[in-house]
Structures are given as C-alpha cells and as structure tokens.
Amino acid sequence: MEIKTKTSITDMTSDGIISVLMQTYIEFNGQETVLENHQETLVPGQFERAKEILPDNQYNAVLALWTGVVTAAWMEKRHKLEAECPS
C-alpha cells in the first residue's frame, strides 16, 4: 500500500485563471482509493506556486498561457477590482 498524490489542471479560462485538482490516494493491488481532494485556483503571475504544485508538462502549459500580455491584463483587472471594493 502506497500513498500518492496526483495533480491535474481541470480548467483554464480565457483570462488566464487555472483550476487545479490535487488528489491524495492510496494505491493497493492496482486499485486507487481517494483519501482527499483539494482544489486550488491560480491566477496569472503565480509562477512559483504553479511550479511548486504542477508536474513539468502542466507547468509548461501554464507558461504558454501566462504570457506577458495575459499577466498584465490580469494585474490591471485586479487593480480595478481592488479600487472598486477596498477592504
């Protein structure tokens, strides 16, 4: 019996938001039993977190999506939202 983790991108939006599913599971006799599901959302510019949790092939897809233009557009959108709704 071995505890493993699988990470996969479940959605990518046109504005660069990425949904990630991380599953912790036990593999025993070729059968997988999921112990825990954890979902996380990454926004353009979160390169360090993406590198930390994603396998290389998925991280490379994120790099292709998060161009300078996409990241700059996201930051502009974020700043507008923060200005409209100060905490």
Cα(16)–Cα(7) distance, integer angstroms: 18
Asked whether the predicted pLDDT for residue 87 surpasses 70, the reply is no
Mean pLDDT of the chain, nearest integer: 91
Angstrom distance (rounded) from CA 82 to CA 87: 8
Q: Is 8 helix (H, G, I), strand (E, B) or coil?
A: strand
| pLDDT tens digits for range 42-61 | 999 999 999 999 999 999 99
